[in-house]
């Protein structure tokens, strides 16, 4: 005869064990959603203030410099800044009190997805609008100062490339972190679905 006592002991142990993945409690999701919304608002305020500063500085450059390439580059940087500010306003996730009241988890997930898409594509909508203006501005500065082929000019260009690369990498990393949060919410949803 087969002895099932060992199997029954394993089944009891399995039933008593904690699940490997524990879903977040609703209060924790609400807290995280609130913190996320606050972080988005702070980031957007900083970006809009930086955009205003860039517009003001490059407007002064467009007025005081006489080199046509510098003037044109300055105007293109201003235009690029306005495009970036518009894209940020268009792409950023916004709180929706009605959706939040109905399903906080779904609302939080939707905001995470929207922000992840925005950050993952930062090269296209955030960095690219600045490129034409900065190229013309730097070429104009090089022409006006006569340092077009100098090491200093190459260092300035390298610094710009490093800044752009750093911004791109930091945003890609932030997008990856958001993807991990989204995956955790999805796993919790699947786990809750198994209980039903």
Q: How far apart are CA 70 and CA 161, in angstroms?
A: 19
Residue 92, phi then psi, degrees to nearest 5: -70, 150
Quick one: which of 88, 177, 172, 175 has its CA closest to 126?
Answer: 88
Residue count (the chain): 196
Per-residue pLDDT of the chain in tens (196 residues, 90 and over written 9):
455 555 565 555 555 555 545 566 777 878 888 888 899 999 999 999 999 999 999 999 999 999 999 999 999 999 999 999 999 999 886 766 665 566 788 888 989 999 999 999 999 999 999 999 999 999 998 888 887 667 888 888 899 999 999 999 999 999 999 999 999 888 876 655 544 4
The reply to whether 101 falls in a domain is yes
The reply to whether 1 falls in a domain is no
Q: Write the CB contacts of 177 (distance below 8 Å, at least 6 apart in sequence).
A: none
Quick one: which of 160, 88, 169, 89 has its CA closest to 131?
Answer: 160
Tell me which residue range forms the domain holding 160: 24-195
Contact (CB, 8 A) for 129 and 85: no
The reply to whether 16 falls in a domain is no
pLDDT in the model for residue 146: 80
Quick one: which of 156, 176, 91 has its CA closest to 129?
Answer: 91
The reply to whether 39 falls in a domain is yes
- Tally of domains within the chain: 1
The reply to whether 13 falls in a domain is no
The reply to whether 56 falls in a domain is yes
The reply to whether 10 falls in a domain is no
Q: Two tokens at 61?
A: 């450059």
pLDDT in the model for residue 195: 45
Residue 146's region, left for phi above 0, alpha for psi from -120 to 50, else beta, is left
Quick one: which of 168, 141, 178 has its CA closest to 66?
Answer: 141
The reply to whether 9 falls in a domain is no
Contact (CB, 8 A) for 61 and 139: no
Predicted TM-score (pTM) of the model is 0.76
């Amino acid at each position: 005869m087969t002895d099932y006592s060992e199997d029954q002991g394993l089944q009891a142990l399995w039933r008593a064990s904690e699940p490997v993945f524990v879903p977040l409690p609703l209060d924790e999701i609400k807290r995280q959603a609130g913190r996320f919304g606050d972080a988005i608002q702070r980031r957007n305020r900083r970006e809009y203030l930086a955009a205003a500063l860039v517009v003001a500085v490059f407007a002064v450059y467009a007025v005081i410099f006489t080199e046509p390439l510098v003037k044109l580059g300055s105007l293109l940087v201003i235009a690029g800044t306005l495009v970036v500010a518009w894209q940020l306003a268009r792409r950023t996730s916004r709180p929706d009190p009605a959706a939040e009241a109905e399903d906080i988890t779904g609302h939080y997930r939707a905001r995470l997805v929207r922000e992840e898409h925005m950050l993952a594509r930062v090269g296209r909508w955030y960095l690219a609008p600045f490129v034409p203006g900065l190229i013309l501005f730097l070429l104009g500065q090089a022409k006006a100062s006569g340092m077009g082929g100098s090491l200093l000019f190459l260092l300035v260009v390298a610094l710009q490339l490093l800044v752009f690369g750093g911004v791109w990498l930091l945003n890609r990393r932030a997008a990856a972190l958001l993807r991990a949060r989204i995956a955790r919410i999805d796993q919790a949803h699947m786990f809750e679905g198994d209980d039903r």
